[in-house]
Amino acid sequence: MAYVVMESCIRCKYTDCVDVCPVDCFYEGPNMLVIHPDECIDCGLCEPECPVKAIAHEDEMPQDQLDFIQINEEMSERWPNIYEMKDAPPDADEWKEVKAKRHLLEK
């Protein structure tokens, strides 16, 4: 069981989540982060930190986000670890309210 980063993170990538993770289990892609499911200790600290509510426990995810379980699994094996907060993309705020953006995910 683990927490999962979902669609809202795409093009927002605020990285507030990274700052609180005690086990540094976030991985960074070109325009979103994912959580390594085998490294996450289910502490729940990251969930309330995300300004766009992109993080949920895998048991509590909306039905239309379930494919992100596999995306987190796969991409956390390919993308580099991120353990420090960094600046969000300059246009992050423009993507805050956009719900449908999975087609923009860069792998």
By CB under 6 A, name the binding residues for ligand F3S: 5, 9, 12-17, 33, 49-50, 52, 54-55
Q: How far apart are CA 40 and CA 88, in angstroms?
A: 23
Q: How far apart are CA 35 and CA 33, in angstroms?
A: 7
Judged by beta carbon distances under 5 to 8 A according to partner kind, the member of ligand F3S, ligand SF4, none in contact with residue 44 is ligand SF4
CB of 50 to ligand F3S, least distance (A): 3
Determine, following the binding rule CB under 6 A, whether residue 27 of this chain makes contact with ligand SF4: no
Segment contacting ligand SF4 by CB under 6 A, of 16-24, 59-67, 71-79, 92-100: 16-24
Distance CA 61, CA 102 (A): 15
The alpha-carbon radius of gyration of the chain (Å, integer) is 12
Neighbours of 62 (CB within 10 A): 10
Give the single-character DSSP code of 59: G
48 binds ligand SF4 (CB under 6 A): no
Task: Rule CB under 6 A: say whether 88 interacts with ligand SF4.
Answer: no
Which residues here bind ligand SF4, judged by CB under 6 A? Answer: 3, 20-21, 23, 25, 35, 40-46
